């Protein structure tokens, strides 16, 4: 699930769903935008909801918005707020003060890799490439999660939930008066790294993301 934007009732519903189907669900992940509008909104609702500490998370554009600037918080600050209080409950492989990580599910031969779209450093890209390579050598199939889509070049797929708007009144292309831009998608370097992974024999499952406030499935152009 994604873009919860401070909705405590929604968070409880997600956790109730997880608890009801716990025999079939290993983990749930929130793909960014935890806060209502910006960093200063805080995350009290998350802290006050039992079970939320187990939810895997990643960084969204509203999570770093501060001082009227979209990337108003550094990676270190984002880690301190959104990761540090919870990450020891996630069972992931991570580095302190870095807002990207991975988690292996050996019984299913799957590796989940989580990226930070708001702080696309050369260090993160190098880590991503290395993490893909080690997944391939270990025979793990890969899922990659980030807040926004992996690439603009995609073909929509027909699904049972086509054209269902999750947030009433939301329209694609929404913007506000905040100064400073933010990345709408991951750098092509990340998609290229996945292409190289596949070309070398790696098994790639999919990208998962949020941000659009729409339920959508798509296929990247060949």
Residue 159 has what pLDDT?
67
Pairing mode of beta strands 101-105, 93-94: antiparallel
- The predicted-structure confidence for 30-63, as pLDDT tens digits, reads as follows 999 999 988 877 789 999 999 999 999 999 999 9
Residue ranges of alpha helices (H) inside 21-144 are 44-47, 75-78, 122-137
For residue 41, the 8-state DSSP code is G
Averaged pLDDT, 147-169? 63
Average pLDDT, the chain: 87
- The predicted-structure confidence for 83-113, as pLDDT tens digits, reads as follows 999 999 999 999 999 999 999 999 999 999 9
Residue pair 148/186 in contact (Cβ under 8 Å)? The answer is yes
Other CB atoms within a 10 A radius of the CB of residue 26 amount to 12
Residue 176 has what pLDDT?
42
Residue 60 has what pLDDT?
94
Q: Quick check: 178 pLDDT over 80?
A: no
Residue pair 71/119 in contact (Cβ under 8 Å)? The answer is yes
Residue 5 has what pLDDT?
93
Q: How far apart are CA 186 and CA 16, in angstroms?
A: 32
CA 9 from chain center: how many Å?
A: 21
The least confident of 71-75, 77-81, 161-165, 190-194 is 161-165
78: burial class by Cβ within 10 Å (0-12, 13-18, 19+)?
buried
Q: How far apart are CA 218 and CA 207, in angstroms?
A: 10
Q: Quick check: 214 pLDDT over 90?
A: no
Question: Which percentage of the chain shows pLDDT scores above 70?
Answer: 85
- Closest-CA residue to 205 (of 147, 148, 143): 143
Q: How far apart are CA 208 and CA 222, in angstroms?
A: 18
- The predicted-structure confidence for 116-138, as pLDDT tens digits, reads as follows 999 999 999 999 999 999 999 99
Residue 1 has what pLDDT?
93
Strands (E), the chain: 29-30, 56-57, 93-94, 101-105, 110-114, 141-145, 154-156, 204-208, 218-220
């Amino acid at each position: 699930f994604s873009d919860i934007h401070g909705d405590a009732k929604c968070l409880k519903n997600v956790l109730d769903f997880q608890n009801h189907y716990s025999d079939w669900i290993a983990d749930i992940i929130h793909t960014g935008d935890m806060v209502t509008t910006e960093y200063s909104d805080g995350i009290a609702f998350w802290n006050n909801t039992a079970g939320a500490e187990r939810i895997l998370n990643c960084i969204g554009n509203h999570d770093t918005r501060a001082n009227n600037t979209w990337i108003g918080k550094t990676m270190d600050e984002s880690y301190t707020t959104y990761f540090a209080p919870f990450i020891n409950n996630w069972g992931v492989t991570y580095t302190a003060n870095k807002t990207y990580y991975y988690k292996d599910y050996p019984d299913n031969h799957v590796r989940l890799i989580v990226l930070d779209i708001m702080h696309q450093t050369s260090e993160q890209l190098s880590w991503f490439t290395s993490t893909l390579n080690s997944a391939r050598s270990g025979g793990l199939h890969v899922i990659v999660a980030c807040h926004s889509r992996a690439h603009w070049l995609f073909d929509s797929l027909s699904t049972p939930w086509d054209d269902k708007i999750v947030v009433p009144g939301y329209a694609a292309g929404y913007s506000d008066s905040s100064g400073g831009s933010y990345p709408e998608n991951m750098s092509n370097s990340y998609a290229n790294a996945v292409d190289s992974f596949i070309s070398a024999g790696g098994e790639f499952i999919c990208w998962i993301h949020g941000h659009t406030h729409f339920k959508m499935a798509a296929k990247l152009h060949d």
